[in-house]
Structure 1
Amino acid sequence: MSWIDLVTNPQGLREVFNQNPPLLNGVSLHELVVDREGPTLQLKLDLPAYPANPPAKWIRCGFNTVQIRLLFGGVSDLRLVGISTEVVADVDIKAGDGVVLELRSPSMFVSASAASVTVSKLEAYVDGRREVVSE
């Protein structure tokens, strides 16, 4: 089972990545937010892969990076070890009693158990450190 099969709203990801969403290895972590409402955990990640056939708007704008926000709802367990300003990590989302998250990098480890995972935002932008994708 792929991580996308566990997402409550995978349609946008499936459309952008033509049914083949990228693995969550080598993602760049921009933000980790814990909120007592729910309680929830949100991860803001740059995906390591860019779609072969991105939306026309993304092509027109010269975007080269896909950013996703994953919202884990009903968090029942959370562990965070280490922190860094530049986190490139491997993320594993698997089925458990709900969903289980593990984020691992040389400087940081996060694990969580949650009732669900949802894509709360999917967008693209130009990352100046990456090559611009052209037609």
Structure 2
Amino acid sequence: MWYEFLGRNNFLISLYRDMPELKNVRISEINMQDEGQIVAITFDMPVYTENPPKKWQDLGDNTVCVRVDLSAVKEISLAASSIDYKGDIEIYKDESELIVVRINGTVNALIKAEYGFVQSVTAYMKE
């Protein structure tokens, strides 16, 4: 599964009995830093967690938001056909052991990097 290719994924794994595939997810951010050497992608999980922390329950949160950081980026391409970014996200390793993030939808992206990890997992109330 996609999360296995990312470091620091323990908290995310603890939230789900069965990790969902990233199909038709809302993508809130694709951010390039350090001349494109670091790329951050922030997206909503397609379903809410079965095991939310008490704080999330108390706040009435109903959407899990994940930020994935990729560093030592070797290749990036990005195109968008809408301001409403949604798409399917695939994360895997290619034959040269680079982490590949491929997004297909109203935003299309291909990012290849040496490292990838879960930077943050948060929740919010989506109306």
- The alignment's TM-score, normalised by the length of structure 1, stands at 0.86
Query: 2:118: which partner in 1?
Result: 119
Query: 1:14: which partner in 2?
Result: 13
3-state secondary structure, aligned to 2:4: helix
Structure 1 runs not aligned, ≥5 long: 129-135
| Structure whose residues are more often strand by fraction | 2
The one-letter amino acid paired with 1:10 is: N
Aligned residues: 125
2-structure distance, mates of 1:58, 1:22: 19
3-state secondary structure, aligned to 2:8: coil
The one-letter amino acid paired with 2:75 is: D
- Give the CA deviation at 1:21: 2.2
2-structure distance, mates of 1:41, 1:104: 17
Structure 2 runs not aligned, ≥5 long: none
3-state secondary structure, aligned to 2:93: strand
Please give the residue correspondences for 1:17-36 in structure 2 after superposition, counting only pairs within 5 Å: 17-18=16-17, 20-36=18-34
Deviations 1:64-120 (A, max 9, x none): 000010001110000112243211110000111321110010x32100110111111
Query: 1:100: which partner in 2?
Result: 100
Query: 2:68: which partner in 1?
Result: 70
Query: 1:5: which partner in 2?
Result: 4
Query: 1:132: which partner in 2?
Result: none
Deviations 1:44-83 (A, max 9, x none): 1011111112111111111000001000111000011224
3-state secondary structure, aligned to 2:24: strand
2-structure distance, mates of 1:33, 1:84: 17
